[in-house]
């Protein structure tokens, strides 16, 4: 028996039914794992602590508005290639979603009057960027073309578990050049490649922002594999918004999961992963119920999984090493606004990024992110109204130790600051406000079950690309992790990749 505290041992009778796989959490990573396995005939139980599925890709409704909790710039809904992982995940359980194409990924409002749009059309984007930096015409093309090389390698092969040797062999024999290409880029960061071709400091800052806006670290710490995916797929599969809101993705995956004969329970907070002889064999819920399965998957963050669901003495050495290399990114201060439609000038794009001072890009309340999904799907708001979802990095420490009154006051002050800055792109915003709800890192922690409300892991320093990100197996037999604290990281399409990989690895382990 391993030295594990008795609280985590199974000595109570457990429910008679035994599952093949239990998935803790119904984020997109957890649901893709579950549906992949269910589609292969496994009996899966998903346990979700909240009332609806989706986690950071969930939604909530207030006064006729349907707000996305987090994600709203959605990759992975393309129709071609292999990187369209959301389309594929839904298809695996005979589901699909109507999506609305977005013609501009981001409209940037950056320091020194740098105003530019990332168009869906690649050449149009390069042209617009080059018009701001004509002396870097060749460097711009070379950098973004190199991103395409990464993408084309990924998009040629079926994306499954890199921990499965037979799959790796098969893929290698089918696509030897693509594989060698990827091996070359795996330890590299986007910043090193950008500097190879580009020397203008302002343009390098722009590349930093291009990375920061989804990796929350500058280009030097952003793996080239992820940059290659994002900077190319936006022009290939494109950005597509699911009709009815982002919550539809999780909703449809759950529908497919249940139709495939598996189960999901809501309000089911897992408090312990049960170990027997050091192997994960089941889970215990807050209400005392226990369930057993042949394999356990955690879609909670690694900090929540290894520091809260398992006893501290069970923390594997590999996790301790990982925590030395990666830290929690900040959380967000989020404003969910309902506004009169006159606030938006005609021709407004769906996604915006605002920054006034390059030195503040990574600071608390530095970069402001904006999404207006009602420009694509007007049904998410009452007639003549729009949703403006805006968020900016914020750390948990800022929001702790406050009385309810102080907390409320601080939220209002912060909202005022952000709205004032947004007036620059949406003059009249304050006057046009119809509804306002403010979320803080505490909200993210409470409703998403994420330690400190973090967006996910970020490298503490410069690492060798994606090499340090763990795959799905853990050092604890029977326990797997999936979601944004596993390879390849944050974003819905990325966690879907992790879900495909996790489902594949477990299917092989169970002989499905
Ligand atoms: C503000 C914001 C904006 C974003 N914008 C975008 C974007 O535009 N595009 C994009 O692609 N990505 C975006 N992202 C990132 C993306 O949403 C996440 O990377 C992704 O949704 C994470 O998925 P996941 O499967 O790892 O887990 P999560 O979404 O964190 O889901 C985990 C689930 O597990 C449940 N859970 C946790 N612990 C337990 C427990 N003990 N018992 C039971 N259930 C538990 C949680 O309730 C949750 O439902 C954004 C994120 C945020 C916060």
The string of pLDDT tens digits covering residues 271-318 is: 999 999 999 999 999 999 999 999 999 999 999 999 999 998 889 999
- Of 103, 102, 131, nearest to 116 by C-alpha is 131
Does 72 sit in the ligand 1 pocket, CB within 6 Å?
yes
The string of pLDDT tens digits covering residues 103-130 is: 999 999 999 999 999 999 999 999 999 9
- Of 430, 497, 479, nearest to 230 by C-alpha is 497
Contact predicate 350/372, CB 8 Å: yes
The DSSP result for 299-353, as a single string, is -S-HHHHHHHSS-GGG--HHHHHHHHHEEEPPEEEEEEEEEEGGGSPTT--SEEE
CB atoms within 10 A of CB 342: 11
CB atoms within 10 A of CB 204: 18
Q: CA-CA distance, 69 to 54, in Å (whole number)?
A: 9
Q: What is the atom index within ligand 1 of the atom nearest the CA of 332?
A: 1
Distance 72 CA to ligand 1 centre (A): 12
- Of 465, 361, 420, 448, nearest to 59 by C-alpha is 448
Does 33 sit in the ligand 1 pocket, CB within 6 Å?
no
- Of 116, 103, 132, nearest to 353 by C-alpha is 116
Strand order in the sheet with 351-354: 114-119, 104-110, 351-354, 368-371, 385-394, 331-340, 433-439
Answer with the residue of higher pLDDT: 181 or 490: 490
Rounded to 5°, the CA angle 163-166-171 comes to 90
Does 304 sit in the ligand 1 pocket, CB within 6 Å?
yes
pLDDT more than 90, % of the chain: 88
Looking at residues 416-433, what average pLDDT do you find?
96
Q: Identify which of 299, 367, 452, 458 to mutate to test ligand 1's pocket (most ligand atoms within 8 A of the CB).
A: 299
| pLDDT at residue number 121 | 98
Those residues whose C-beta lies under 8 Å from the C-beta of residue 67, and which sit 6 or more positions away, are 59, 60, 61, 336, 380, 387, 389, 437
Distance 483 CA to ligand 1 centre (A): 8
pLDDT at 407 over 50: yes
Q: Which fold has domain 6-97+243-325+460-510?
A: FAD/NAD(P)-binding domain (3.50.50)
The string of pLDDT tens digits covering residues 37-95 is: 999 999 999 999 999 999 999 999 999 999 999 989 999 999 999 999 999 999 999 99
| pLDDT at residue number 233 | 96
Mean pLDDT score of the chain: 94
Q: What is the atom index within ligand 1 of the atom nearest the CA of 72?
A: 8
pLDDT at 354 over 70: yes
Q: Predicted confidence band at 17 (pLDDT cuts at 50, 70, 90)?
A: low
Distance 8 CA to ligand 1 centre (A): 26
Does 219 sit in the ligand 1 pocket, CB within 6 Å?
no
Q: Identify which of 36, 57, 72 to mutate to test ligand 1's pocket (most ligand atoms within 8 A of the CB).
A: 57
Those residues whose C-beta lies under 8 Å from the C-beta of residue 93, and which sit 6 or more positions away, are 35, 38, 39, 253, 255, 256, 257, 259, 260
Residue nearest atom 21 in ligand 1 by C-alpha distance: 56
Q: What is the atom index within ligand 1 of the atom nearest the CA of 56?
A: 29
| pLDDT at residue number 463 | 87
Does 29 sit in the ligand 1 pocket, CB within 6 Å?
yes
Looking at residues 458-487, what average pLDDT do you find?
93
Terminal-to-terminal C-alpha distance of the chain: 30
pLDDT at 8 over 70: no
Give domain limits for the chain. 6-97+243-325+460-510, 122-240, 330-451
The DSSP result for 457-487, as a single string, is EEESS--STTTTS--SB-SSTTEEE-STTST
Q: What is the atom index within ligand 1 of the atom nearest the CA of 309?
A: 41
Q: Predicted confidence band at 462 (pLDDT cuts at 50, 70, 90)?
A: confident
The string of pLDDT tens digits covering residues 368-395 is: 999 999 999 999 999 999 999 999 999 9
Looking at residues 245-265, what average pLDDT do you find?
98
Distance 142 CA to ligand 1 centre (A): 34
pLDDT at 195 over 50: yes
């Amino acid at each position: 028996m391993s030295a594990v505290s008795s609280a985590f041992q199974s000595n109570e009778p457990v429910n008679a039914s035994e599952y093949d796989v239990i998935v803790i959490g119904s984020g997109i990573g957890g649901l893709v794992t579950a549906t992949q396995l269910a589609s292969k005939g496994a009996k899966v139980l998903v346990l979700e602590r909240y009332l609806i599925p989706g986690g950071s890709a969930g939604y909530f409704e207030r006064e006729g508005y349907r707000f996305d909790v987090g994600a709203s710039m959605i990759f992975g809904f393309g129709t071609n290639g292999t990187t369209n992982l959301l389309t594929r995940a839904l298809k695996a359980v005979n589901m699909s979603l109507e999506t609305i194409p977005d013609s501009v990924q981001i409209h940037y409002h950056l320091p020194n009057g740098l105003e530019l749009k990332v168009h869906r059309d690649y050449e149009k984007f390069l042209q617009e960027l080059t018009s701001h930096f004509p002396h870097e015409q060749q460097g711009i093309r070379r950098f973004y073309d190199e991103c395409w090389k990464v993408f084309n390698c990924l998009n040629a092969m079926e994306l499954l578990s890199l921990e499965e040797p037979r799959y790796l062999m098969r893929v290698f024999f089918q696509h030897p050049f693509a594989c060698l290409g990827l091996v070359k880029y795996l330890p590299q960061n986007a910043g090193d490649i950008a500097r190879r071709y580009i020397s203008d400091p302002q343009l390098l800052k722009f590349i930093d922002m291009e990375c920061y806006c989804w990796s929350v670290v500058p280009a030097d710490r952003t793996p080239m594999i992820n940059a290659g995916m994002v900077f190319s797929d936006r022009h290939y599969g494109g950005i597509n918004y699911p009709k009815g809101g982002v919550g539809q993705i999780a909703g449809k995956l759950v529908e497919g999961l249940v139709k495939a004969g598996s189960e999901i329970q809501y309000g089911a907070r897992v408090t312990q992963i049960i170990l027997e002889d050091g192997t994960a064999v089941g889970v215990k819920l807050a209400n005392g119920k226990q369930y057993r399965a042949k394999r356990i998957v955690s879609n909670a963050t690694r900090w929540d999984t290894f520091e809260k669901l398992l006893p501290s003495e069970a923390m594997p050495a590999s996790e301790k090493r990982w925590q030395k290399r990666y830290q929690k990114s900040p959380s967000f201060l989020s404003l969910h606004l309902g506004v009169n439609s006159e606030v938006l000038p005609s021709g407004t794009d769906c996604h915006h990024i605002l920054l006034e001072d390059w030195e503040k890009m990574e600071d608390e309340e530095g970069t402001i992110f904006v999404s207006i999904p009602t420009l694509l799907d007007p049904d998410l708001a009452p007639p003549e109204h729009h949703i403006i979802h805006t968020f900016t990095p914020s750390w948990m420490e800022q929001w702790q130790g406050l009385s309810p009154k102080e907390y409320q006051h601080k939220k209002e002050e912060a909202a005022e600051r952000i709205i004032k800055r947004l007036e620059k792109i949406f003059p009249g915003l304050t006057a046009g406000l119809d509804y306002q709800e403010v979320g803080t890192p505490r909200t993210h922690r409470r409703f998403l079950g994420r330690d400190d409300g973090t967006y996910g892991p970020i490298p503490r320093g410069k690492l060798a690309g994606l090499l340090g990100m763990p795959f799905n197996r853990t050092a604890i037999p029977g326990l797997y992790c999936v979601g944004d604290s596993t390879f390849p990281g944050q974003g819905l399409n990325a966690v879907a990749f992790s879900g495909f990989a996790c489902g594949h690895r477990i299917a092989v382990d169970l002989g499905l």
